[in-house]
A and B are shown apart, each in its own frame.
Chain A
Amino acid sequence: MDSKDYIASGILELYVAGSLSEKENQEVYEAMQKYPEVLAEVQSIENAIVKLTAFSKKDSAYSFDSIKNQLKVEQPKVIPISKPKTNWLQYSGWAASLLIGSILIFTLSKNNQLKQQVASEKEVLEAQIDSASTNLAAAEKLIEVFRDKDIISVPLAGQTVSPTSYAKVYWDKKTNSIYLDAKGLPEPPKGKVYQVWSLKLSPLTPTSLGTLDSFTADNNKIFTITNANESEAFGITLEPAGGSLSPTLEQLYTLGAVSS
């Protein structure tokens, strides 16, 4: 029997009424599980009967409250919604926050480190710029000196002790100062120092203009020296540290006469 014939047989109407035997009830139940249309038919019949029977009462509706208090309610069992199991979500949350925290700390310290690095690099750069501009100023001053027509240029030639040495004196008579370019002199041996002399030729009278104590340290080997003498020549000798009262002529490195 297919579901259509089953529905048409009228058994479902009796099923809702409760007029069937236990065995028949079981059959209908199985048919309802098997055929959705049988279940729908039963529900439809039931709805009609519910409405029909509802009309055979005279009173207005009885409120549920009238029986509510008489319903015995067992103490509701507390059923935990979820067993207290290992909450991996929570743990992974903590792990993630720890990870993020340590990354944050690492980033902050890295950032500080970089900031310091940048600051020190900046300092170095500033110092370089500073020295560059100082150098530039010095170079400009030198160019100015070399171009000044009032400045007397005196080349100092190498002498017997050091024929390859040379030097140059730029004498500014207005300011009573000389600019000595000593680039052509070798490094003085340890314990020795170059001493600059102003010379008068007849009679030969040397006057010390001072020692070049900073020769090794000075990069451009240009020294500014005060000279108020009526110099006729300039000479440079190698002297013991501290300088000498009179030049050691055996150690005369360069010499040059002022052309008149």
Chain B
Amino acid sequence: MSQEQLILQFQQKDVKAYEKLYNMYCDSISGVVNNIVKNDDVTQEITQDVFIKAWNKADTYSSKKGRFFTWLLNIARNAAIDYTRSKKFKQSKQNLNADFFVDILETSSNLDKSTNTIGLKEFVTKLGEKCKAVIELIYFKGFTQKEASEELDMPLGTIKTRNRTCIGELRTMLGE
């Protein structure tokens, strides 16, 4: 079954179709959430909330506005960022370190799960600092091109091309 069909069925509240989509993206979404909230229990809670929220607002998704994965990604980032602004998060803030996704990657138990993980780990450690920062901001934090350019003090065009180069290397390594 094509992804387009799965998404259509999901929008018609087909639980089975949604389960397939969930299994495709659950790890990614929780990875993004974890990178922001940096707490396993909270990550699980927020990830579940994200998928319930997506289910409830299924009819607002349109392929014309973007990829389904991107749509989920936005819901996840917003939910995680909302949490970081909450009282609860601020109270526990002192316990958090300032890891980038790369730091989480390096200590992740998930890295033993796939044959690609060794290559991924190698790739991540070899990534230049600028590359790490761009991926972090663009994909994990949801920064726009402009926001990233301001944050990293780089020209707009450079963000775009650097990002492409970094993702290109990642794809080569993953065989994508």
Contact = CB atoms under 8 A, between A and B. Distances in A.
Interface of A: 8-11, 13-20, 22, 25-26, 29, 42, 44-62, 64, 66-68, 70-74, 76
Contacts of B116: 51
Interface residues on chain B, size class: 35 or more
A67 B34 contact: no
Nearest to B29: A53
A48 B167 contact: yes
Contacts of A53: 27-29, 31-32, 35, 73, 101, 139-140
A59 B23 CA distance: 15
Nearest to B55: A71
Contact of B110 (A26, A55, A67): A55
B55 A56 contact: no
6 contacts: A45-B176, A48-B170, A49-B167, A50-B25, A62-B30, A62-B44
Contact of A67 (B30, B35, B52, B104): B52
B77 to A, nearest CB: 8
- In this complex, which of A17, A20, A42, A73 has the most chain B Cβ atoms within 10 angstroms of its Cβ? A17
Given A10-B163, A45-B167, A55-B108, A17 B70 contact: yes
A55 to B, nearest CB: 5
Given A13-B164, A18-B142, A61-B26, A52 B66 contact: no
Contacts of A45: 167, 171, 176
A15 B31 CA distance: 19
Given A18-B70, A29-B63, A48 B171 contact: yes
Contact of A54 (B28, B160, B167): B28
Interface in B102-132: 104-105, 107-111, 116-117, 120
A61 B23 CA distance: 9
Contacts of A16: 67, 69-70
Nearest to B158: A10
Nearest to B147: A19
Interface stretch (B13-21, B80-88, B89-97): B13-21
Contacts of B15: 68, 71, 73
